[in-house]
Chain A
Amino acid sequence: DSGVTQTPKHLITATGQRVTLRCSPRSGDLSVYWYQQSLDQGLQFLIQYYNGEERAKGNILERFSAQQFPDLHSELNLSSLELGDSALYFCASSENPGGESTFGSGTRLTVV
């Protein structure tokens, strides 16, 4: 157990739908990162939060949004889902921005 908790582990939904992925960072970590990993692909950085504030944006689609709450957990919202959004979504956390990151076990999203 890495200390980073992601729920749900698996999610199957239809095209056009909206889903919310949840991440609880490791205790003491203030930064949360979201990554997308498609089949046999690398880790695509989506977005970073630090202590509730958005800090960096990567290749995140406009249909996707995220936030970090006062208790430091984070949610990634994916809307108007398309087949191509099927992927593993990882959350990672670190104590400081750019510091050692610990990953969760991911949410596998399947859009049918």
Chain B
Amino acid sequence: QQQVKQSPQSLIVQKGGISIINCAYENTAFDYFPWYQQFPGKGPALLIAIRPDVSEKKEGRFTISFNKSAKQFSLHIMDSQPGDSATYFCAASGLGNDMRFGAGTRLTVKP
């Protein structure tokens, strides 16, 4: 069963633009929401993560927005660069629960 739904499946953004990827979850027991970045042929790497006690977390050009009541969270990449071109996965887990991943979004940033 898919407990984390991610959209869009693919995204093309111009250099300098804002990339936005959305995720929705079902299990209210989830309390940890990371985003992973994966380059071709590499393993996913943790990019940024948030817990539901805050509504937003920013690290450099990457921001997570979290809406607990709607059970949704999103990744915003500001000033997108060609080097950001990768596949992004959202995920959700709770203590004792295995981490559930979204289906992934392939981001292409055009120069």
Contacts and interface: CB of A to CB of B under 8 A. Distances in A.
Are A and B associated in one complex? Answer: yes
B95 A43 contact: no
A27 B31 CA distance: 24
A98 B89 contact: no
Nearest to A59: B1
Q: Which of B42, B43, B95, B100 has the most CB of A within 10 A?
A: B43
A55 B98 contact: yes
Contacts, number: 62
A96 B95 contact: yes
A98 B101 contact: no
A109 B97 CA distance: 28
B43 A106 contact: yes
A9 to B, nearest CB: 10
Contacts of B99: 33, 45, 98, 101
Interface residues of B, number: 22
Nearest to A47: B98
Contact of B46 (A45, A48, A101, A105): A101
Contacts of B96: 97-98
Interface in B64-111: 89, 93-104
Contacts of A84: none
A105 B42 CA distance: 5
Given A98-B32, A99-B32, A100-B49, A43 B44 contact: yes
A99 B93 CA distance: 7
A36 B100 CA distance: 13
11 contacts: A2-B43, A43-B101, A98-B94, A98-B95, A98-B98, A99-B93, A103-B43, A103-B44, A105-B42, A105-B43, A106-B42
Interface of B: 32, 34, 36, 42-46, 49, 89, 93-104
Closest 5 CB pairs of A and B: A103-B43, A98-B93, A56-B98, A42-B103, A43-B101
Given A97-B95, A103-B45, 10 more contacts: A4-B43, A35-B101, A42-B101, A43-B89, A43-B101, A48-B98, A98-B98, A99-B93, A101-B46, A105-B43
